[in-house]
A and B are shown apart, each in its own frame.
Chain A
């Protein structure tokens, strides 16, 4: 006991405002997170009240003294939720400016500027080329960085929403005086507070005194059921203990006086809020992939750059020349367009999903949904409608399903049913407003809704005015009302309640228009019926009535409900009604589709195991009767390893009676298994799990504000089937992203090799750094993004979720770098050589010419025809050649875009139906024309207005690309050459 208490105090130490242990703020935050992840360990609800008072130093009548309260307030801080230490935005900005390739681009920019500065200090009129390039690189970096910064900067408003769940004022007794407007943030441990109907409980309290006190704990359990709380013995699990009421719970009935056990961050709600706000969601599979790929690319680019730098310095090139080489290598190797393309593709998919009533808040979640291996679904409100409905009735010794279409006709002339109807309509506190809306307790609402199918309960109520009433309470477990029958001027007692209480009070039974005695057989039959209904997860109520003898109870009889002066025994048993929160219509089919797609669906709910199991088998989460059910109590006793193994062993699992923390534990266990976990939920209690999951899915209509804020995806129409579409879209976008990335990577090859042969063969540079940027961030962008509009090639839902299928595979690299990229390079070099040759530099004369060519001092470089070229003329020619190379790359990239439309099918089969791609190709051509022909733009990008015929130089190579790729795909489809191409290049 002592250890528990001391651990409690040490925890409260951690949450004191002044940071008592002097930890660094980040350490403090992570320690707090670790504490919050554990289940609440306390015995404050178990020990006798008197011990508790001593422990808290309070008094049940007078409360705390004002001084003591102030002292405690200063020590432990106010009763509010502490926001997490937020990273400041400059830090976030800095981070987004320096991730991925950005560092390399910065390096390139720094090199450029250094080169410029060196030139500036050594030469009277330095060329501004390097300054230009440096600025352009910085601009590229800043733009990309800002782009991702605004993506990431959706500040966490979670805490604010939680804080709005706590009321403003509370009634609190201090120094023996009851203050009705104590501000809630001033409450401290040990305060005696008073709550009544309509109040929101301001802190976790232990009940001292109560009357008919009922709270709605939906914020912690997700179940909108009023549960009674009173001063009784506590159970081991504080969350289910009937003598504790939690902060943020709504008091729906009665009143209570309680002592505050804990405040602020240490309340059950505070823990949930703290978890939801502090947890860092796992990085999405896509961002993991991209990060990995970027790391590889960066290492490759850097090592190649370092190698080139080392080699050129040892070969005796001056520093300036080396910088030019290195910048060229770095810029050529980085696929600058990758990040924008991925983001744009995801944004477009997210837009499409909005049309399907699915709001994607976190872009990467949509792809993660495609990769998702496990869905942990909440039950209430997600799988079910969170609305009670009558499902079965047991009447005249037979069970009838409400869904049975013949039900009405079979019951029409049944007296038992008429009595049943009257009882249902009368023994109810639910009211019907003039426009037909039923208000009241969920189960009474359900019964009234059911009765509306047959008769009008309102007219019945008018016929039987209410005379007296004993409301429901948890001790009696029934409710009774007495009505006057206006037609026969007799009194009618109607009773509704738990079957075991009602049946024991009945002596007769109405069955098939006869009244028979309750024999043992009949009692057994009712018991069996009760059990059967209970096993399907239904909540059962029994109805009974009794027509009072008008002689004994004349019209002016005075009914006393306190001291009951009318019979409550020997009633006539009418029947049973089975109520249930029905599963949403679409859920069953959706779950079937999801399971066919290889995704495991688990139920994680705060509801009872039996109900959970019944719903699970109804919606198809459990297909065999031996579906494994784990309750929260069992989960408490499980070690993480045991949980892990349980998850391994049982495919179909239902978790019932789980606390918010346990939901989180389950998600984390699934993630430890290497799964990508989606969590669907609507309540506050789901928030931590939603946050931690790879994909948090919240409900748009029924979902709480908190759950919507923590979720990545919001289903605007609460339609579970949208998840299926989401998975489909996610898988499709992944397939299409592969195409986009392949498309981008292919153009990398004709960017890298020119730099290499510039160094190795000493020819004038075939493709400038500016033009490389033009390709990567200009012409390539739209077609790459438009590939995300491709339709799926195969049925994406027929295959299991990808586990070891990376975005960039060795096959893709082989195809891009070894095959198609080289064809593009050949096309570019061909164009380059032709333009050179037309001007008089024949290919054989170009090799080894670079030193003279790039030397400003030489004003007479001789070509193959003896003509002599000045430096300016040479550079003009170089620009023309680079432009021709650029155009050749653009033309072959257009063909490449068409090729990349498919990975498997033939293009003749797929056709050119992608309008966006067609647009993209047009835009690519237009951009290329603008870059080449618009004056000013072409000087900036070092291009040249080309002759028309030079645009067609790449065509033979484009044709080769097309033929080769069709052949390759044909071989892949037919598994030719022993699946050679499948092995080598099927990405």
Chain B
């Protein structure tokens, strides 16, 4: 129908569009409604109060649950899940010091002569050994130290002493022998609450144990049988080349952790026994892969999964 025209219709005028900038300012502060960021102060207040209450309820429920649980089920001195009941298991790992600064690196690297170069490692060790040195400073120590021997185990609540002075030449005064390109590396066995080592019978030593260690054990047990109650430690190069490069090794004070330190019962002032591995003449200018292993019947060993073994590399230039 040609008679129908646009004029017949009332055309609503579209509201004029506001520029983005003005819109933004209006969002920040709208003069008409008094809204700041899209809400009036009153509405902001309400929403803050609402969320404050809601989150307070949530946080308090969380806190109550956690507090109840920790109070009721958790003993602050004794783990709830021990050894095989938990995930820590019954096979402790080994740890070494000093630790390299880089994440995921196990390379101890320094220049043989410069103090600046080995200062880092020395400081690391000083730091690590400070608890062993200043026993009097930690709470409860000093009083409950017991003079442990193989035939006199510490009574409950008492701990054995670790003397780091008889580790010469691996002492702080001697720069842990780093400056002579014959560094000392400290080994310790991981603490597991209530773990007893299952010692090897000196007559039935495993055949993959290094000869030197076997003869050492035989010698020492011939002297006194009870000395067999040790978690033995041995270090060696990983590959035949490394074995050659590593040179002679000395274990101070002895190649193992004495059995009277176990079990660990989280007694006040307990210190892990240490073995200082003194690499007497390692070859310089080459990376040496070193693997140290702890020996007890109930320490599992698997090189691939790093079970019962610690690995580090040494490089002295």
Contact = CB atoms under 8 A, between A and B. Distances in A.
Contacts of A862: 191
A859 B305 CA distance: 12
Contacts of B307: 872
A876 B307 CA distance: 14
A519 to B, nearest CB: 39
Given A641-B6, A873-B87, A856 B104 contact: yes
B80 interface: yes
B58 interface: yes
Contact of B88 (A646, A648, A840, A864): A840
A966 B188 CA distance: 57
Nearest to B193: A867
A877 interface: yes
A830 B192 CA distance: 25
Contacts of B258: none
Interface string B43-66: 000110011001101100110011
B100 interface: yes
B245 interface: no
A837 interface: yes
A867 B270 contact: no
B86 A839 contact: yes
A876 B88 CA distance: 9
A641 B51 CA distance: 50
Nearest to A864: B76
Contact of B62 (A830, A839, A855, A859): A830
Given A829-B62, A830-B62, A858-B99, A867 B104 contact: no
Given A642-B6, A839-B88, A865-B77, A860 B1 contact: no
B306 A865 contact: no
Interface string B1-27: 110101001010000000000000000
A869 interface: yes
A837 B80 contact: yes
Contacts of B220: none
A872 B6 contact: no
Contacts of B65: 830, 956-957
Interface of A is mostly: helix
B9 A648 contact: yes
Contacts of A639: 6
Contacts of A951: none
Interface stretch (A275-283, A697-705, A818-826): A818-826
B88 A857 contact: no
Contacts of B237: none
B228 to A, nearest CB: 25
B36 interface: no
B310 interface: yes
B94 A859 contact: yes
B70 A837 contact: yes
Contact of B105 (A819, A830, A857, A876): A857
Contacts of A833: 66
Given A859-B93, A869-B190, A870-B190, A838 B74 contact: yes
Interface in A841-862: 842-843, 851, 855-860, 862
A840 B86 contact: yes
A859 B306 contact: yes
A857 B106 contact: yes
A866 B73 CA distance: 19
- Chain A interface bracket (under 10, 10 to 19, 20 to 34, 35 or more): 35 or more
A865 B266 contact: yes
Contact of A868 (B2, B62, B191): B191
B95 interface: yes
A634 interface: yes
Interface in B126-156: none
Given A637-B1, A837-B74, A877-B87, A859 B95 contact: yes
Interface in B61-91: 61-62, 65-66, 69-70, 73-74, 76-81, 86-89
Interface string A631-660: 000100111011001101100000000000
A984 B95 CA distance: 55
B74 A860 contact: no
Contacts of B66: 830, 833-834, 843
A860 B6 CA distance: 86
A960 interface: yes
B224 to A, nearest CB: 30
Contacts of B241: none
Contacts of A980: 46, 50
A579 B242 CA distance: 108
Given A645-B11, A840-B79, A866-B264, 16 more contacts: A649-B9, A822-B55, A823-B58, A826-B62, A829-B62, A830-B65, A837-B70, A840-B88, A857-B100, A857-B106, A859-B93, A859-B94, A868-B191, A869-B88, A960-B57, A984-B50
26 contacts: A649-B9, A837-B70, A837-B74, A838-B74, A839-B79, A839-B80, A856-B104, A857-B99, A857-B100, A857-B103, A857-B106, A859-B95, A859-B306, A860-B95, A865-B193, A866-B191, A866-B193, A868-B190, A872-B306, A872-B307, A873-B89, A877-B87, A877-B88, A880-B87, A980-B46, A980-B50
Interface of A: 318, 634, 637-639, 641-642, 645-646, 648-649, 818-819, 822-823, 826, 829-830, 833-834, 837-840, 842-843, 851, 855-860, 862-873, 876-877, 880, 956-957, 960, 980, 984
